[in-house]
Amino acid sequence: MSLQPSTASLSAEESRVRVEVLGCSGSIAAGSSTTAFLLDETVLIDAGTGVGELSLEAMMRIDEILVSHSHLDHVLAIPLLADSVMKARLAQPERGPIRVRGLPETLAALSAHLFNGQIWPDFTAIPSAPWPILRLEPFVLGDTLTVGPPGRHRQIEVLPAAHTVPACGFAIQTPRGLWVFSGDTGPNPALWAALHGRHVAHLVIETAFGDEERWLADLSGHLAPGSLAQELAHLAGSVNVHITHPKPGELAAVTAQVRAIVSDHRIEPLVRGRVFEV
């Protein structure tokens, strides 16, 4: 399904999409946080440790969380966020639960392994099943999701990813083209088929390992610089490409290998705190 622009009735300022990088590392260390993006203040795309960079007031504005897959580095802030904002959320019942949206398999994993009363309280039934803090809502590949508050709706397409668990990426329609997040993925022909013939303004794509560990990248459903180069050959035009997900101890080596790639695209490492205004 192709996205259609939905911003014609908005002013130029309102139609501009703002995406803040809260975390973009494959693991944690001082100054490094795992994957999370904040869209227009009210929507999280993944919820890794980067969510902890937000103030409590900013966390209280979150109404939706889109989850690319079930791995811990992308979801572990969801239960902690629910705990942090519960009292304030209950004082505003008109807002309803925070919507946690993901593939059915992803939501099933969250229910079984995270919100199970053992690892963490089940905030999908707290304070009560009819009125929980979190509500799980499934989507499927190819869906176009409407997110954001009334008057500032955004259209986000669910893109295919190729990982060790069911996974997806996302494409946000902006006035200047698509802002695309690959999610965790290895070589992914279906992604390039979905993007064929469409204008991509920014591509955030993972490169989790250096080429010396490409065997591990292949085994674990990730990319290394060499396989990234092969993937980018399927992307037409000259696109701003942003590399995400290397681990803190491997960032310098992966960055150097990525910068050695000969490509028509503009390739740079993603950094925490980066703000896209597209």
State the DSSP H helix or E strand holding residue 59, giving kind and residue range, or none if neither.
helix 56-59
State the DSSP H helix or E strand holding residue 111, giving kind and residue range, or none if neither.
helix 104-113
Distance, in Å, from the CA atom of 220 to the CA atom of 199, rounded to the nearest integer, reads 30
Q: Which two tokens stand for residue 188?
A: 């992914």
Distance, in Å, from the CA atom of 14 to the CA atom of 152, rounded to the nearest integer, reads 7
Q: How confident is the model at residue 169, as a pLDDT?
A: 98
Per the document, the length of the chain is 278
Distance, in Å, from the CA atom of 209 to the CA atom of 217, rounded to the nearest integer, reads 6
Instruction: Convert the pLDDT of each residue in 32-81 to its tens digit.
Output: 999 999 999 999 999 999 999 999 999 999 999 999 999 999 999 999 99
> Is the per-residue pLDDT at 278 higher than 80?
yes
207, 172 Cβ separation under 8 angstroms:
no
23, 42 Cβ separation under 8 angstroms:
no
CA atoms within 13 A on the CB side of 214: 11
Beta-carbon contacts of 8 under 8 Å, excluding residues fewer than 6 positions away, are: none
Instruction: Convert the pLDDT of each residue in 245-266 to its tens digit.
Output: 999 999 999 999 999 998 999 9
Distance, in Å, from the CA atom of 207 to the CA atom of 205, rounded to the nearest integer, reads 7
% of the chain with per-residue pLDDT over 70: 95
Q: What does the DSSP 8-state code read for residue 97?
A: P
42, 63 Cβ separation under 8 angstroms:
yes
Beta-carbon contacts of 277 under 8 Å, excluding residues fewer than 6 positions away, are: 16, 17, 18
What residue ranges define each of the domains in the chain, with the CATH number in brackets?
A: 14-272 (3.60.15.10)
